[in-house]
C-alpha cells in the first residue's frame, strides 16, 4: 500500500521557500505526534514534539534586515550618552 505522503508527493507539495517547507514538515510531524499520543507511544511522542518545535521555529523565524543590528546598537549608545551625567 502506497503512503499518501510519498516522497514524490512531498516534493510537489513543498512550496518555494524554506519557511514554507518547514511549515509543511511541522504539520506532518504534528500528525505523527498525535498518532503516537493516541497509541500511547510516549517516548516517540516526545521526540516528535521536539521535531515539531524545531520545524515550527524554522518556519516562523524572522531575519534581521542588513544593517539593522548596527543601527540598534548605535541607538543604544546614543541613549546611554544622553543619560550620562
pLDDT digits (tens, 9 = 90+) for 33-44: 999 999 999 999
Q: Determine the pLDDT at residue 69.
A: 84
Do the beta carbons of residue 61 and residue 52 sit within 8 Å?
no
Question: Quick one: which of 14, 15, 46, 20 has its CA closest to 33?
Answer: 46
CA 19 to chain centre: 7
- For the chain, the structural domain boundaries read 16-83
pLDDT of 10 over the 80 cut: no
User: Model confidence over 49-81: pLDDT tens digits?
Assistant: 999 999 999 999 877 788 888 888 888 888 888
Do the beta carbons of residue 55 and residue 22 sit within 8 Å?
yes
Q: Determine the pLDDT at residue 58.
A: 92
Counting DSSP H helices and E strands in the chain, the numbers are 4, 0
Q: Determine the pLDDT at residue 33.
A: 96
Question: Quick one: which of 2, 8, 60, 6 has its CA closest to 28?
Answer: 6
Amino acid at each position: 500500500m502506497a503512503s499518501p505522503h510519498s516522497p514524490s508527493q512531498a516534493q510537489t507539495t513543498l512550496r518555494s521557500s524554506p519557511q514554507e517547507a518547514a511549515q509543511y514538515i511541522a504539520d506532518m510531524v504534528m500528525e505523527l505526534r498525535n498518532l503516537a499520543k493516541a497509541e500511547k507511544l510516549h517516548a516517540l511522542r516526545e521526540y516528535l514534539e521536539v521535531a515539531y518545535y524545531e520545524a515550527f521555529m524554522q518556519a516562523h523565524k524572522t531575519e534581521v534586515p542588513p544593517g539593522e543590528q548596527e543601527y540598534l546598537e548605535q541607538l543604544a549608545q546614543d541613549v546611554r550618552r544622553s543619560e550620562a551625567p
